[in-house]
Amino acid sequence: MQLRHSFTELRQGLRRNVSMHIAVVLTLFVSLTLVGLGAMLNQQAVKAADQWGSELQITVYLCRDGDDNPACLSEVTDPQKQQIASVVEDSPEVADWYTETKAQAFEKVKELFGPERFEGPDAALTADDMAESVWITLEDPDEYEGITSALRGLPGVARIQDLRDVVGPILSSIDALKYGAIGTAAFLVLAALLLVANTIRLAALARRKEIGIMRLVGASTLYIALPFLMEALVTAFLGVALAAGALAAFLKFGIIDRAAQGLTFMPWIGWDEYYVTLIGIGILGPVLTLLPTLLLTRKYIKV
């Protein structure tokens, strides 16, 4: 098949209908960005839920000298620790547990904030300022009432921290953003489909004489439709490229450089998730433009 004519038609078609094509590209860009954003936020939620779902822990901080909790009269004693350990051990809700010493807790803090602030005579904290803790992994992340009520108020227990109290609002925000992005994207995807349909209709109208002659002299449907399909692919490519750039910027400046630096305890999405999203919008973009093109070219240029 000689493609010279198809490429000439493609060039003319893009030039003739430039404003409509820009509208299609921009609508595609915004809708694909929102779809991609929804997909990335979904992966973020799954990633966070995966980690916290499997490792969901309750941390029981034990009393230390000078604890803020008025119930803590002094440093936790060995008999108190034994009692706490036996309650944890006997609970059917507990899958696994371990204790963290003051020294281990201090090492963690040093690792998190850098060791230089915790060394020498002007150290901000020492190991003695840290509390001993018991880290409990639950059998079922949703079954935690029994163990927390059994431990609460026990002598030597300063406070119980459930990671979900911290993570819950973050996960809810991610979910809300995800659904917001996908919901808005749905409307824009519809707008993109209608715009593409309109563009094809106008292009077919502008070329109706040529199309009529092509049909009469025996050009195949594919040959007649090819410039339309190529136009659809070009607009899809531009829309996908712009959306890919916007999503990369969101990942780099929003997640990697900002969120992941501020909230270090959360597992964050990275370039791997971005590539998965890219494949998704790389397929969706051409589908959004080719689908109405194929349907309408069948209608307008039927041989």
The residues that touch other proteins, with contacts defined as CB under 8 A, are 1-2, 4-5, 209-210, 212-221, 223-224, 303
* DSSP SS3 for 117: helix
When the beta carbons of 15 and 209 are compared against other proteins, the nearer one is 209
Given a contact cutoff of 8 angstroms between Cβ atoms, the answer to whether 200 and 50 are in contact is: no
Please choose, from the candidates 152, 242, 142, 265, the residue with its C-alpha nearest in 3D space to the C-alpha of residue 192. 242
Q: What is the DSSP string of 34-80?
A: HHHHHHHHHHHHHHHHHHHHHH-EEEEEEP-TT-SSTT--SSPPHHH
Q: At its nearest, how many Å lie between other proteins and the CB of residue 286?
A: 24
When the beta carbons of 94 and 224 are compared against other proteins, the nearer one is 224
When the beta carbons of 112 and 217 are compared against other proteins, the nearer one is 217
Q: At its nearest, how many Å lie between other proteins and the CB of residue 210?
A: 6
Q: At its nearest, how many Å lie between other proteins and the CB of residue 289?
A: 24
Distance (Å, whole) CA 88 – CA 156: 14
When the beta carbons of 25 and 224 are compared against other proteins, the nearer one is 224
Q: At its nearest, how many Å lie between other proteins and the CB of residue 197?
A: 23
Distance (Å, whole) CA 300 – CA 215: 12
Q: At its nearest, how many Å lie between other proteins and the CB of residue 267?
A: 54
Tell me which residue has tokens 């822990």: 57
When the beta carbons of 135 and 223 are compared against other proteins, the nearer one is 223
Positive or negative: CA dihedral 111, 117, 119, 125: negative
Q: At its nearest, how many Å lie between other proteins and the CB of residue 212?
A: 7
When the beta carbons of 258 and 302 are compared against other proteins, the nearer one is 302
Q: At its nearest, how many Å lie between other proteins and the CB of residue 300?
A: 15
Please choose, from the candidates 130, 137, 131, 132, the residue with its C-alpha nearest in 3D space to the C-alpha of residue 58. 137
Given a contact cutoff of 8 angstroms between Cβ atoms, the answer to whether 178 and 45 are in contact is: yes
Radius of gyration, alpha carbons of the chain: 31
Distance (Å, whole) CA 60 – CA 272: 36
When the beta carbons of 4 and 122 are compared against other proteins, the nearer one is 4
